[in-house]
Structure 1
């Protein structure tokens, strides 16, 4: 079945030679990455920029008064070629960033910023949208049509469309420079992360790791030309999944030190001057746009509304989180004091002794659970099965459809009635060309206007064992799998008319809500008993272990909440700076220390989840002044989990309600209005406080 193939109007024979300018012949319009070479990208972008500008000129040159039909509809139809090419490229630039792709991204960043400004700051287009917005109450529009006008008007206003020519010129220069800097930050981080991967000469240094983990480390070393050694690559966050298993303290210390050094060494990958310039230019831009700070600018168009609202929540949670972390550290210290050579618990010790305390207090050995979490079974009988039980959808692997890398698997997704829904791509394994962390992105977005169906991809960074050894996941990796698949479901289910509202195009501090809800099904009985089965014996995870997992859900939440809140506060601290403050001479290390002391989260044994120099979410991703979004969304998530439990849990009726009233609307409705439509009331914070052990 070949759904949603789009033919390009006005395509010439020369265009047809570039696969990015010709229609994809693959199902659902998935780009044919096997035909695309790096040299195709920049010419395709140049052509797409030109066509998009022509489409906008056609709108603004219309002599008739502005209407919804002659302004908003063609605006939404415009830029389809550019959208497709950008989605194709940025999928690869994050997941398989070869040197050639990195070079293209550096060249492209200011071009893309300039083009975006050319559209967003177009005075003639803004006037037409203003005209439609001014007579909105007199127009006979659907709810989605009306919201489209409101959003475009709000977004163009906030982008600076109402500024004068001189101000727009400065704004365009700022945006161009910022696009270059954020690309540089990401490139530096990727290169320094690869450079700082920790090499061990003897397997005895990695005592405590299982056969699969040792195999993955040996494979990673071999791929670097280090035959006979073991290489531990670094995840995006400060800690490391292996720190809970490694028995040798010196090995743990080496890994933690490497992780925390990223982007802060005096070398070609030093991100300190990069992030300081980003902070300064963001603050200047905020002032130009009429805001006191970048944080004020960002939150003004989020559900939070103001940075003060964010700060209130973070402060409210920080005090009990720090208190709980202090109590947790005391328990770890008692174990460290009982060692033959006692020592003070440091950051690199926390995960290892936490697992010992967990085993002691809850009789759970997290590392020993890995044989119950084989990756393929987690995918098929866990992640997919939960979606089938809840929403009726099914998945069929399509090995005949190529992805952008040999590791990528493609699945076709069907509704319960057998109708085609879209494609789901999975890119599970880590590699040097992939940025750290885990994420979802759309390659093709659903839109009735464009006649497209969704194609979404999940990226994780799981170590790949050598040979035929199975991939065994940690509990954290299983949680991440369910979380990212929640984003994928949002992208698959959103059913809208206009591309502006497609998939996960919702407010940043709402977008994590559906994905966090999906984590619930990881330990749901009907799901867990199917996927958590021993690799060798097929025995299910024992019931007493499951009970212990539930009983220990708040275990170590003082640490987990503190490290997250510390990063959120650090993000806010940088972006609360006004233009004058940001222009001052700032020492990054001293600034971090002062910010963490301000909120009482300056415990050296509990480092921030991301330090500034490797905080990709805010300095190269889309979460600047918005990393608080996870905990903000978790208020909605925890309240929703209570609703599911009170209403029968994993049922088709509940799934249909969540899909129809929340996931399915995409960004076509105010997100809090959509939440109230689903939940029947505003969210209560108490379930979140209870979940994280922050009551009392």
Structure 2
């Protein structure tokens, strides 16, 4: 999931409601002034269904004035709340703040998606220009002494302490957010913090843009199809098409995805081709590269450490984790370190097994670019599972409509209707209207499946419009993936990993669609990093439910079902190669924590030297199995908001396996269980403490056993 573009959009007039006296007059005047100054396309909500963005009318030149107008309007609205002469109340302060910023949210929710999924030089330049303005706006809001005084007065009052339900949670989380962002600092330290935050924002944007350029620049160019032996005809044709589009006719281009290990490494039979792909991947954006990000990393890590120090925290990790289920770096490292003994034993055993397989090809020393190739060979021999042979059973749109949607229909009673009248920002996208079990509209769903040079790597969910009863908003949600696009005239086929990713991202979407919160700050996916990935990982389980699998896993040409026993082989094979499957993620998560527990002096050291030492200290086989993301291309932690939070994928996997264990023990995929899932956590946003939501669902605290068993790391 990307940096969270999850703020709500609503008609500007709503911001004046439920405020009394001078406050209402002041905010209304602020709106009038803003509306006079800005009359562009975003001045009013979209007239399309559910306020969906009208991409047919938006031009690149529309963005900057709209964002800057939104920033100005939100500043005016927050100032009006701070200056309200009436005594602070929950309604005229906390609720009023939830109504503020509708123009900004309306614009930036869409802009943030485009800069991630369909960017260009103009959008990148605008992003560079507005990012520090946004950072400054946020600082001026959360460091405003008058505004914080009102929030604190409500927080400390008898009326505030008597609040219940969502009202109490909103007050609790907003007060904590003000304190976390420096509201208790002196004026001088606030000024210093603002300057730091502006620098950090600029650097994060610079890192993101530079890495996108590095990914494109390091796409691997081959001179002949023979060098791509082992890939399918469709993959080779797609590589030729990519080369032609990039002005290299007659050649073949394999683009890089975000991860260190590239999927093609499992298939390329030419060892030198594998080496070239791997080395381009692992060396991108590193020292000496044209798009080297290591200098940015040093500055970011140092600034973050100084920021934590300024705020009285021992390190940035501790600062970041204040609102998490696992709330200190030490607890996160203890949790993760518990896996390393069994994992190291597995890595040594599997390395020996793969070397034995490689010796048949004359390979005497296993290299990192050999691992996935020989792992796939052993997998095929051991489990009779050929990934290329099963892809024809996973046509992308069929998986979506007859798999992902079908599971949601059977479990939660949802229905889906394709809308061809809703504009999109890329021709390969699809849009669907989502209807609830009672026939009411849940919102719109956008699906953007294929990779392209203008899209960053990975997969994510975002909101164009976020649910809020207060603002009268219905969700408009997108899932974005990076599946290899099909060659012209060929079907769009998904790997098994793509299939599970589609179910994963739709779990985020369900979290957003089922939101039924009053306040946008508590709605849907607006939860802590180490909870937000739980609904998505939990939803992956539906991919292998026999009834669901039988409904979507059909050959795209013949309609034949997936051969009997294949899913058993997939499940069995999933426990093989945990050396990479789990090891690279664990290494990346621990590397993240190690980066963000440094002092400012320690953070200033050479990034690659630090990474080498950090990986060595883990006691895993990082020489053969590098982390899923190395420091120079670890976008999650340097730009996407996962700093000190990448461990959350592992923690929420634990929650997902334990949660699915509850489902399995209570009858499986039934409507009754669907209602319970929705009522206990999937529709609850952050309306309760997160550990309470989990206990509401399962009846117990998280247990590690189901995950160890699923990963093949238990002693059973």
TM-score, length of structure 1 as denominator length: 0.97
> Which residue of 2 is the match for residue 33 of structure 1?
55
Aligned with residue 318 of structure 2, among 276, 287, 296: 296
In the alignment, does 2:344 pair up with 1:344?
A: no
Aligned with residue 170 of structure 1, among 183, 192, 201: 192
Aligned with residue 589 of structure 2, among 568, 584, 599: 568
Distance (whole Å) between structure 2 residues aligned to residue 523 and residue 73 of structure 1: 43
Aligned with residue 634 of structure 2, among 615, 622, 627: 615
Aligned with residue 505 of structure 2, among 475, 484, 489: 484
Q: CA deviation at 1:51?
A: 1.4
In the alignment, does 2:671 pair up with 1:649?
A: no
Deviations 1:234-258 (A, max 9, x none): 0001011111111111111111111
SS of the residue 2:253 aligns to? strand
SS of the residue 1:407 aligns to? coil
Q: Is the 8 A contact 2:384 2:569 kept in 1?
A: yes
SS of the residue 1:552 aligns to? helix
- 1:90–1:695 CA distance, 2 compared to 1 (3 A): same
Distance (whole Å) between structure 1 residues aligned to residue 569 and residue 341 of structure 2: 27
In the alignment, does 2:347 pair up with 1:354?
A: no
Deviations 1:430-489 (A, max 9, x none): 111100111111110000111000011111011112222001111111111111111111
Q: Is the 8 A contact 1:114 1:176 kept in 2?
A: yes
In the alignment, does 2:548 pair up with 1:543?
A: no
Q: Is the 8 A contact 1:20 1:41 kept in 2?
A: no
> Which residue of 2 is the match for residue 441 of structure 1?
462
Deviations 1:185-225 (A, max 9, x none): 11111001101101111111111111221222122112112
> Which residue of 1 is the match for residue 91 of structure 2?
69
Distance (whole Å) between structure 1 residues aligned to residue 341 and residue 465 of structure 2: 43
Structure-to-structure mapping, 1:398-417, within 5 angstroms: 398-417=419-438
> Which residue of 1 is the match for residue 3 of structure 2?
none
SS of the residue 1:320 aligns to? helix
In the alignment, does 2:203 pair up with 1:181?
A: yes
Distance (whole Å) between structure 2 residues aligned to residue 610 and residue 12 of structure 1: 44
> Which residue of 1 is the match for residue 656 of structure 2?
637
> Which residue of 1 is the match for residue 453 of structure 2?
432
Give the RMSD, CA atoms, in angstroms. 1.6
Distance (whole Å) between structure 1 residues aligned to residue 271 and residue 107 of structure 2: 48
Structure-to-structure mapping, 1:105-254, within 5 angstroms: 105-136=127-158, 140-254=162-276
In the alignment, does 2:531 pair up with 1:510?
A: yes
Distance (whole Å) between structure 2 residues aligned to residue 534 and residue 217 of structure 1: 24
Q: Is the 8 A contact 2:579 2:625 kept in 1?
A: no
Structure 1 alignment gaps of length 5 or more: none
> Which residue of 1 is the match for residue 440 of structure 2?
419
Q: CA deviation at 1:515?
A: 0.3
Deviations 1:160-199 (A, max 9, x none): 0111111001100000000000111111110011011011
How many equivalent residue pairs? 691
- 1:296–1:18 CA distance, 2 compared to 1 (3 A): same
- 1:409–1:138 CA distance, 2 compared to 1 (3 A): closer
Q: Is the 8 A contact 1:323 1:558 kept in 2?
A: no
Q: After the TM superposition, which of the residue ranges 28-37 and 259-268 deviates more from structure 2?
A: 259-268
SS of the residue 2:417 aligns to? strand
Q: Is the 8 A contact 2:34 2:73 kept in 1?
A: no
- 1:345–1:271 CA distance, 2 compared to 1 (3 A): same
Q: CA deviation at 1:302?
A: 1.0
- 1:153–1:364 CA distance, 2 compared to 1 (3 A): same
Q: Is the 8 A contact 1:314 1:569 kept in 2?
A: yes
Distance (whole Å) between structure 2 residues aligned to residue 538 and residue 678 of structure 1: 38
Q: CA deviation at 1:140?
A: 4.7
Structure 2 alignment gaps of length 5 or more: 1-7, 14-30
SS of the residue 2:32 aligns to? coil
Q: Is the 8 A contact 2:155 2:161 kept in 1?
A: no
